[in-house]
Amino acid sequence: MTSSTLPQSDCTIRSAADLLLRWPAQEPLAALVSGGTLESQNAWTILARPVETIVIAADSTATDALAQLELALSRTPRPSVPRSHDARDIPFTGGWILALGYALGECFEPRAVCDAQPAAASPRAVLHWCADAWCFDHTTSTLHAIGNPPALSSPTETPAWQLHSMHPRESDAHYAASVARAIEYIRAGDAYQANIARRFDGVLSGSARAFAHAAISENHAWFGACVDLPGGGCLVSMSPELFLRVSHDGRIATRPIKGTRSADVPARELLESTKDCAELAMIVDLMRNDLGRVAEIGSVEVAQSRVLETHRTVHHGVAEIRARLRNDVSWMDVLRATFPPGSVTGAPKVRAMQIIQELEETERGFYCGGIGFISASGNAALSVAIRTAQLGAADADNARALAYHAGCGIVIESELAAEVAETHTKARAVFQLAQSGDVDPS
C-alpha cells in the first residue's frame, strides 16, 4: 500500500468538506470529515471507497452479531508490539470504516434487553472495507492518496437539496412525561443518570452529499461523517464528540460530553451549573471503569475533568480520560468494554439502557452508536453518533425520509422544561438547515 502527497494548490481545496462534492457521484463513499477549530482530535479527514460491505442485520442474534463482528475485526489486528508514535503518521492506511448502531450494545450487554424493546429496522452495524482513500491533513493542508482512490473532480456548482417537513415525532408534553418517569427511577435508586432521547422526522429532497456538505460545513462539525448505507441510505453526522481514539502504540482516549447550553447564552451559565458538573462527573467515573477493563493497571487517568467547548449552536462540558491498552487486547475487547458510549446511556450503564428501552418509543438506529475507522496500521477513531441524521433510500422523486434524534442526560435535579428546551437546542444543528417555510420545530 502506497501513499503520495499532493499540495493544496494543486487541488483547490477550500475546506475538507468540499471534498464531498468532488467525490465521483457514481462511486460509493465512506467519509469522515473533520471541521471546526483545529484540535489534535480532528486533524484528519478521510474519504474512502468501500470495496466490500458487511451488514450485521437487525434481526441477527447476539451470538451471530458478535461472531460476525469479531471475524471482520480480525482482519485489522492490533499491533502485537507497539511502535513508537509519530504525530505525522497518516492514521488511516486502509481498513474498516464502520457505523455501529446503538442496538449493537444489546449484544455486548444482553441484560439491557427488556420486553418493551421497540421493533428494530436499522442494521446493528455496517462495516465498509476500504483499501483506497484520500486522507487530508488539516495541519499541513495536504492530500495523501492511500491505494488507488478515484480521481477528484474539478469544483462545480453545488447540487440542489432541500430539507423540509421537519417535526418532532412526539409532543413536548410526551417527552416531558418520559423525563419525569426517568427521574422517578433515579429517585428510587435504580440509576444515577439516564440519557433519554426523542426523534424528529423530515424529508430531504435532492443530493444527500450536498446536504452532508452543508450540514458539516455550517455546523463546523469536529467529527462529521457521510457514510453510504446498504439499500441506498446514508448517514450524515455533525458529531462534536469523540468516543474513542486509539494510537498504534496502544494509547487510548475518550472525551465524553455532558452539559449543554445554547451558544446564544453566556458560557458561564454552563460552567457554574452544579447539576451539569455532576452529570459529567458521573460519566467520567463510568468511562474510567470501562477503559479500566482493557487498560494496563495504573494507566487510566483523567486528563481533563471538565472543560468548555463551544460549537456553532451549543456550549458543551467535556472531559478527557486516557489510558494505555494491554498488549493482549483486541479491537473486539475494546468495543466489548466500552460500547455503547456511556455519555449516551447513563450510569450504571446496564440499568440506564433498560430505562432507555422502556421510555423511548422509537429505535435509535445509528444514533448514539459510533462512526469511525479501524485501520490496518493499528490506529482507530470513533465518534459518538450524536447530531446525526439517518437518511433512507431515495424514492422516484429523489426524496428521502430523514430521522434525527436529540437526547438529554437526566439526573435527580433535572427540570422538565429545561430538558425539553435542551432537545430543541440540540436539534438546531439540523433545523437551521431547513430551506422551506413549513418547518415546525415546536
Q: How many Å apart are CA 111 and CA 350, to the nearest integer?
A: 7
DSSP per-residue string spanning 339-398: PSPGGGTEESHHHHHHHHHHH-SS--TTTTSEEEEEETTS-EEEEE--SEEEE----TTS
Looking up cell 482493557 gives 294
Please say whether the beta carbons of 409 and 422 come within 8 A: no
- Dihedral through CA 355, CA 359, CA 365, CA 371, nearest 10? -50
Give dist(CA 108, CA 66) in Å, integer.
Answer: 8
Q: Taking a C-beta distance cutoff of 8 angstroms, is the pair 412, 183 a contact?
A: yes
Residue 224 CA to residue 17 CA, distance in Å, equals 9
pTM score above 0.75: yes
> Grid cell 465498509 — which residue?
128
Q: Which of 241, 309, 419, 422 is catalytic?
A: 241
Instruction: Please check whether residue 220 is in contact with residue 15, taking contact to mean a CB–CB distance below 8 angstroms.
Output: no
CA 272/CA 268 separation, integer angstroms:
6
Does the active-site annotation cover 258?
A: yes
Out of 106, 109, 258, 419, pick the active-site residue. Answer: 258
Q: Which three cell numbers, joined as nine digits, stand for 280?
A: 459529567
Q: pLDDT of the chain along its 442 residues, tens only?
A: 454 544 443 445 667 889 999 999 999 999 999 986 656 566 899 999 999 999 999 999 999 999 999 999 999 999 876 665 554 589 999 999 999 999 999 999 988 886 655 556 899 999 999 999 999 998 888 999 999 999 999 877 889 999 998 999 999 999 999 999 999 999 999 999 999 999 999 999 999 999 999 999 998 889 999 999 999 999 999 999 999 999 999 999 999 999 888 888 898 898 899 999 999 999 999 999 999 999 999 999 999 999 998 887 888 899 999 999 999 999 999 999 999 999 999 999 999 999 999 999 999 999 999 999 999 999 999 999 999 999 999 999 999 999 999 999 999 999 999 999 999 999 998 998 885 434 444 4
Verify whether residue 241 is a known catalytic residue: yes
Ordered by where they begin, the domains of the chain are 3-431 (3.60.120.10)
Q: Which amino acid does the sequence have at 436?
A: S
**How are beta strands 95-100 and 301-310 bridged, if at all?**
unpaired
